[in-house]
Amino acid sequence: MIVHPYFDIMKARTKRQKMVEELSALIKPLTEKQKSWAKNKLFPHFARNTMCNGVLTCFDCGHTWNGEATKKTVCPCCGQKLEVLKSNRQRTVKEREYFTVITTCKEYQVIRTFFVIFNAHIGQPATYEFYEVIQKWIDVEGNKTIRAMTTPFNTYYYDAWSLTSELSIKLIDNYRVSASEVYPAKKVIPILKRNGFKNSLHGIDPDKLFISILKESMAETLFKAAQYNLLKFYIDRQGLVSRNWASIKICIRNNYIVKDASLWLDYLSDLHYLKKDVRNAHYICSNNIIEDHNRTVQARKKKTEKEKSKAEAIQAELEEEGFKTTHSKFFNLEFKHNKTKITVLSSVEAYRQEAEAMHNCLFDRGYYKNKNSLVLSAKKNNKRIATIEVNLKSLEIVQCRGNCNTIPKGYDKILSIVNKNMNKIREISLLQSR
Ligand SMILES: [Zn+2]
């Protein structure tokens, strides 16, 4: 994708820009060798087969010959290996691609991006148009200067280059061109060679790679130590890598290469959580990171659960304590009439048991947390028959419910027992809480 560069300055302004503009005259056009590499590497090569008479046509050079309808063939004229198209009606092939050439110009590292338009029409030689669309100039300190073709203002379309425009200095690098291929022969400035650059980019964007190792000491260290995956990760998420720098240094010292940085850093965060020594090579230089990581994930999960249930226990204890503070003065209350006995629920656990036996939401709703609510349980012959709630402010019965919130047997009787004792409740409620 190409995102529009907000600032398109045609004339070089700073010393560096002027220098780049001047040196750019030295940049040579693509060689025939580079072009033929790109033609081969970037585009598919097809032959069309006219099935009824077995006539094959090369989309590359336009040559026609008699041949068999196999999947692959070789053009007897241009020698190109060809893929035989399924359709015998296709008349044109059109493709657009990018590729990058990594080279130098004086003391600058230059990354050149080319845009290629491939056009093939049956019976004619295919055409390739090459356009240089971006040049990134990087000096020894990692400063970047961009020259690029112009893109129409406010255009976010892919490949929207003004193909007749000249390369000119651009202020912001907003070109998100992903060049699928890099020309294999690369030239780099001496400092990059000294930093350990051989030929491979290790799957990292060339300009990001070069700038980071020229500008940042951590990136340089990672590159020299062949920690390419960590470096790639570092370029995107510097913070996470630098936070674990002490551990990384130990890996480097032990010649341990981190192959999957994201997994390894995740593993490290587990080790932190599990209070393992992340400066101990025994832990961090894992020989089987997948297995070790799985293990720490499990251990972390267990620990989290343990901490959660611990927290829950602490919470329950606090609730019990709070409940006692507000309600303990009522605990000895007991009203009896014949075989009916009404007592105060005297612990959070008693609320839980009552709720479970009577199938109500007494416990779930946390009635015990309400200091103005007094809950009593009525039993007949030791069997629970009703749960009664009294509002300690208004001294009224708020509810009296049987099993599953039904109207209990002896409802009126229970109400009258409680109401008769309401004065006792009032007296106690006026007492200072403990
Ligand atoms: Zn051919």
SS3 162: coil
Phi-psi label, residue 226: left if phi above 0, alpha if psi -120 to 50, beta otherwise = left
Ligand 1 centre to CA of 60 (Å) is 5
- For 267, list phi and psi in degrees, rounded to 5: -60, -40
145 DSSP β-pair partners: 137
Local confidence band at 3 (pLDDT 50, 70, 90 cut-offs): very low
Mean of pLDDT values over 215-231: 96
Ligand 1 centre to CA of 49 (Å) is 13
68 against 221, higher pLDDT: 221
Residue 93 confidence (pLDDT) = 86
Local confidence band at 6 (pLDDT 50, 70, 90 cut-offs): very low
Closest CA to 241 of 211, 224, 217: 217
Ligand 1 centre to CA of 100 (Å) is 26
Domain ranges of the chain: 15-182, 327-430
Ligand 1 centre to CA of 119 (Å) is 14
Given a cut of 70, whether residue 97 has pLDDT beyond it is yes
Q: What ranges in 237-347 are assigned the alpha helix state H?
A: 238-243, 245-253, 261-273, 281-284, 289-327
Ligand 1 centre to CA of 124 (Å) is 10
Q: Distance between CA atoms of 127 and 132, rounded to whole angstroms?
A: 17
Find the largest Cα–Cα distance for the chain. 115
Ligand 1 centre to CA of 384 (Å) is 96
Ligand 1 centre to CA of 55 (Å) is 13
pLDDT tens per residue across span 343-359: 999 999 999 999 999 99
Ligand 1 centre to CA of 45 (Å) is 9
pLDDT tens per residue across span 156-213: 555 678 888 899 998 877 776 766 799 999 999 999 999 889 999 998 999 999 999 9
Mean of pLDDT values over 66-94: 86
Which value, to the nearest 10 degrees, does the dihedral of the CA atoms of residues 15, 20, 23, 25 take?
-120
Residue 281 confidence (pLDDT) = 92
Beta strands in 142-237 (DSSP E): 144-148, 168-170, 181-182
Ligand 1 centre to CA of 94 (Å) is 17
Ligand 1 centre to CA of 63 (Å) is 5
Mean of pLDDT values over 377-382: 94
Mean of pLDDT values over 250-259: 96
Question: What share of the chain in percent tops pLDDT 90?
Answer: 66
Residue 9 confidence (pLDDT) = 54
Ligand 1 centre to CA of 140 (Å) is 45
Local confidence band at 5 (pLDDT 50, 70, 90 cut-offs): very low
341 DSSP β-pair partners: 336, 379
For the chain, the distance separating the N- and C-terminal CA atoms, rounded to the nearest angstrom, is 72
- Residues 316/369, Cβ–Cβ less than 8 Å: no
Given a cut of 60, whether residue 432 has pLDDT beyond it is yes
SS3 30: coil
Ligand 1 centre to CA of 64 (Å) is 8
Instruction: Count other C-beta atoms under 10 Å from residue 228's C-beta.
Output: 20
**Of 16-25, 173-182, 191-200, 318-327, minimum mean pLDDT range:** 173-182
Given a cut of 90, whether residue 1 has pLDDT beyond it is no
Q: How much of the chain is in helix, strand and coil states, percent to nearest 5? A: 40, 25, 40
Ligand 1 centre to CA of 390 (Å) is 97
Residue 33 confidence (pLDDT) = 97
In one letter, which amino acid is 278?
V
379: DSSP letter: E
Q: Distance between CA atoms of 397 and 323, rounded to whole angstroms?
A: 20
Output the CA–CA distances (angstroms, integers) from residue 283 to 156, 249, 254, 255, 382, in the order listed: 48, 14, 12, 14, 61
Ligand 1 centre to CA of 44 (Å) is 13
Given a cut of 80, whether residue 263 has pLDDT beyond it is yes
SS3 391: strand
Q: Considering the chain, what is the average pLDDT of its residues?
A: 89
Output the CA–CA distances (angstroms, integers) from residue 45 to 37, 38, 89, 96, 118, in the order listed: 13, 12, 16, 14, 11
Mean of pLDDT values over 324-329: 92
Ligand 1 centre to CA of 56 (Å) is 10
Ligand 1 centre to CA of 73 (Å) is 10
Question: What share of the chain in percent tops pLDDT 70?
Answer: 94
Local confidence band at 2 (pLDDT 50, 70, 90 cut-offs): very low
Given a cut of 70, whether residue 224 has pLDDT beyond it is yes
Given a cut of 50, whether residue 367 has pLDDT beyond it is yes
Ligand 1 centre to CA of 61 (Å) is 4
Stated as kind and residue range, the H or E segment containing 218 is helix 217-224
Q: Which CATH number fits domain 327-430: 3.40.50.170, 3.40.630.30, 2.60.40.10, 3.50.50.60?
A: 3.40.630.30
Residue 159 confidence (pLDDT) = 66
Ligand 1 centre to CA of 106 (Å) is 40
